[in-house]
Amino acid sequence: MKKAIVLGGSGFLGSHVADALSDAGFEVTLFDIKESPHIREDQKQIIGDILSEESVFKAIDGQDYVYHMAGIADIDECHNSPLNTVKFNILGTTLVLDACVKAKVKKIVFASSAYVYSQSGSFYRVSKQACENLIEAYYEKYGLSYVILRYGSLYGPRSDRRNSLYRICEDALVNHEINYSGKGDEKREFIHVDDASKMSVQVLDKDFDNQNIMLTGVDRIEYRDLLLMVSEILHDKVSINYVPKKSGTHYKHSPYSFSPKFARKLSTNPRVDLGQGLINLLSEIHEKLHPELQEKFGLLIQKSDL
């Protein structure tokens, strides 16, 4: 059985990728500074700090594949904490790469972002660009094989308020109101985390060696239409307010700007479409808020028109 470790395996994306690896027959280890509430019986976990060189090497030693999804993933948090962004995202990645070389792993898979193309994204973008350059340099010097996954707009279960769709759905349920920062014409290609995690395992195929891969949804949607979907699912009992944009850290229509580095886009027919994904997310949030009403709420939203 091949071994894979997921750094940041307690988080939103990392926990789903760990499950997809387990489902594909890998022996999976999670490495994170906090215990995972989602760990399965067929997985094990190591509690450790990504900035501890000794801990990182001990965790990676003996693994075949390393999925690096640790660090600060929230754009606004990165924007407000440049020093921590450099420490956890850039220095942490360097320690991981060095451990991979010493442990002679077969491949590292790095969670990057579509923001690497953009002029938006603040220090988050800068850190991801720096990490990609480091990974390519380690390949050139040491022959460390890699796949860089540039994720688009993820959503789904196990997320929290750092995720835009989670915030929208929670505000709609709790306050019956959505205050959206922007005009509503901003466009995204949302991809459900279940689909993204399964595709994240597919890239271990040799056809993807040493490539940059874009993982996004297949359809583009304006936030205006997305907010209306949420409102209709909840029987139009949600008011939608558009407020001035707070900062320029997020892109409007596209993350792309001119760059000499291109990525191969990987897409597949989605297993979870956006409408069903929103229903599942609303149901999960409602269960957290009112577990005693979950069965009634589940019947209610099934009657909604998508």
> Are 9 and 144 within one domain?
yes
Higher pLDDT, 248 or 172: 172
Residue 300 has pLDDT above 60, yes or no: no
pLDDT of 254 higher than 60:
no
pLDDT of residue 114: 80
What are the backbone dihedrals phi and psi of residue 119, each rounded to the nearest 5 degrees, phi first?
Answer: -95, -5
Mark whether 132 and 158 lie in a shared domain: no
What pLDDT sits at residue 180?
Answer: 92
- pLDDT confidence of 237, banded at 50, 70, 90? confident
Alpha carbon 167 to its chain centroid, in Å, reads 15
Which range has the worst mean pLDDT, 60-64, 109-113, 122-126, 291-295? 291-295
Residue 294: predicted pLDDT:
54
Identify whether residues 29 and 65 lie together within a single domain: yes
Q: Are residues 142 and 159 in the same domain?
A: no
DSSP conformation letters of 199-246: HHHHTTSGGGTTEEEEE--SS-EEHHHHHHHHHHHTTT--EEEEE---
How many domains does the chain contain in total? Answer: 2
Tell me the C-alpha to C-alpha distance, in Å, between residue 18 and each of 21, 68, 79, 201, 213: 5, 11, 28, 9, 19
Structural domain for 118, as ranges = 3-151
β-strands 221-222, 187-188 pairing: antiparallel
142 shares its domain with 239: no
Higher pLDDT pick, 5 / 214: 5
* Whether residue 252 has pLDDT greater than 70: no
- Dump pLDDT digits (tens) for 120-148: 778 989 999 999 999 999 999 999 999 99
pLDDT confidence of residue 62: 97
- The verdict on 54 and 163 lying in the same domain is no
Are 160 and 237 within one domain?
Answer: yes
Q: Give every CB contact of residue 285 below 8 A, 6+ residues apart in sequence.
A: 166, 169, 170, 173
Burial of 14 (0-12, 13-18, 19+ CB in 10 A): buried
For position 28, which CATH number holds?
A: 3.40.50.720
Task: Please indicate, yes or no, if residue 266 is contained in any of the structural domains.
Answer: no
Per-residue pLDDT for 305 more than 70? no
Stretch 190-216: mean pLDDT: 93
d(CA 58, CA 20): 24
The answer to whether residues 185 and 122 belong to one domain is no
Residue 112 lies in a domain: yes
Across 53-61, average pLDDT: 97
pLDDT at 304: 43
Q: How sure is the predictor about 260, in pLDDT bands with cuts at 50, 70 and 90? A: very low
Residue 110 within any structural domain of the chain = yes
**3-state DSSP: the chain helix, strand, coil percent, rounded to 5?**
45, 20, 35
Domain identity same for 285 and 177: yes
Instruction: Decide which of 151, 183, 208 is a domain's last residue.
Output: 151
The verdict on residue 205 lying in a domain is: no
Measured in degrees and rounded to the nearest 5, phi and psi for residue 8 equal 85, 30
Are 61 and 187 in a shared domain? no
Token pair 């001990």 in the structure block, residue: 58
Within a domain: 203: no
Tell me the average pLDDT across 31-39. 96
Handedness of CA 30, 35, 41, 44 (dihedral sign): positive
Q: Which residue has the tokens 């269960």?
A: 287
Give the pLDDT confidence score for residue 289 in this predicted structure: 79
**245 compared with 238, residue with greater pLDDT:** 238
102 and 138 in a single domain? The answer is: yes
Mean pLDDT, the chain, integer: 88
What span, in angstroms and rounded, lies between the C-alpha atoms of 200 and 148? 10
The Cβ-side half-sphere exposure at 64, using a 13 Å CA radius, reads 9
**CATH code, 290:** 3.90.25.10
Asked if 13 and 80 sit in the same domain, the reply is yes
